[in-house]
Amino acid sequence: MTTLFISDLHLDSSRPAITELFGQFVRREGKSADALYVLGDLFEAWVGDDDPSEVGAYVASALREVADGGVPVYFIRGNRDFLVGQDYAAHAGFRILSDPAVVVLYGKPTLLLHGDLLCTDDVAYQAFRTQTRNPDWQAQFLSQPLQARLAFAAQARAASRAHQAKLREGGNDVRFETVTDVTPATVEATFARFGIDTMIHGHTHRPAVHTLRLGERECTRIVLGDWYEQGSVLRVDADGYRLESLQA
């Protein structure tokens, strides 16, 4: 049996092929897994559980089939869908985990995150994250009409693109890559804080397996890929792990 990890699907009505790939994947592999974990940014944007989007309904139906088949489904909120709430979770049949969260995979404690908490060099984003995770801010935001919230989400995406473009000004790709990737010192501090040797996260869209030594410990950081052009899945079982792509 295998435990499945995915993240950064950014599902949206503008990319129906990827939404269909997600549905095929969870119905084909999810139903026979030990568990399915979605580590954030399942959606391109989420402005509240009252959003009647067809994509949201499709995803809930697919995940509910997995959960109803006896496979536990877990979700960690990302920077695009941090407003996914308990109403949608109940509808889709998944449990929302804290970020970060510690789970035991085949006897091995493992730290799970969306990944944005590790990108501390991006000071502007971290300030935005702090603001939008505030319960008072969220309550005020969710009290607004749906159309106003959708407009805010569109503006936030535009601001994100502008922020990234500014980081690339003058062809400064090195600065962009540094700021938008994890901060090594923060990764080391996170490993030390939890005393765990394995970490799995998404967010950076840079699928890879990294190893680092902290004192006497060798630590492994597995980064999930995004689903913009193809799928990405991490399969973990008692024998180890495989980070693979899924073709659309």
- The DSSP code sequence of 7-26 is ----B-TT-HHHHHHHHHHH
Distance in angstroms (rounded) separating the CA atoms of residues 4 and 136: 34
Task: Specify the pLDDT at position 192.
Answer: 95
In sequence order, what are the residues at sequence separation of 6 or more whose Cβ sits closer than 8 angstroms to the Cβ of residue 218?
197, 211, 212
156 vs 202: which has the higher pLDDT:
202
Task: Specify the pLDDT at position 52.
Answer: 87
pTM above 0.85, yes or no: yes
Distance in angstroms (rounded) separating the CA atoms of residues 111 and 196: 7
Contact call for residues 59 and 13 (beta carbons, < 8 A): no
DSSP state of 69: T
19 bridge partner residues: none
pLDDT tens column, 68-84? 999 999 999 999 999 99
pLDDT tens column, 216-227? 899 999 999 999
Instruction: For 18, list phi and psi in degrees, rounded to 5.
Output: -70, -35
Task: Specify the pLDDT at position 56.
Answer: 97
26-65 per-residue burial string, b: 16 or more CB within 10 A, e: under 16: beebbeebebbbbbbbbbbbbbbbebebebbebbbebbbb
Task: Give the model's confidence band at 175: pLDDT under 50 very low, under 70 low, under 90 confident, else very high.
Answer: very low
Task: Specify the pLDDT at position 160.
Answer: 75
Count how many Cα atoms sit within 13 Å of the Cα of residue 25 in the half-sphere of its side chain.
26
pLDDT tens column, 129-145? 999 999 999 999 999 99
Delineate the domains of the chain, giving CATH numbers in brackets: 3-246 (3.60.21.10)
Contact call for residues 212 and 219 (beta carbons, < 8 A): yes
Q: What is the length of the chain? A: 248
Give the H/E segment covering residue 111.
Answer: strand 108-112
3-class secondary-structure state, position 248: coil
Task: Specify the pLDDT at position 162.
Answer: 79
pLDDT tens column, 9-54? 999 999 999 999 999 999 999 999 999 999 999 999 999 999 989 9
189 bridge partner residues: none
Flag whether pLDDT at 174 surpasses 90.
Answer: no
Share of the chain above pLDDT 70, in %: 93
Distance in angstroms (rounded) separating the CA atoms of residues 139 and 25: 34
Contact call for residues 199 and 5 (beta carbons, < 8 A): no
Kindly report the average pLDDT of the chain as a whole number. Answer: 92
pLDDT tens column, 109-122? 999 999 999 999 98
Flag whether pLDDT at 96 surpasses 70.
Answer: yes
Contact call for residues 40 and 77 (beta carbons, < 8 A): yes
Least confident of 10-14, 155-159, 207-211: 155-159
> What are the distances in angstroms from CA 61 to CA 68, 190, 236?
10, 35, 25
Flag whether pLDDT at 171 surpasses 60.
Answer: no
Which of 161, 148, 184, 181 lies closest to 50 in space, CA to CA?
148
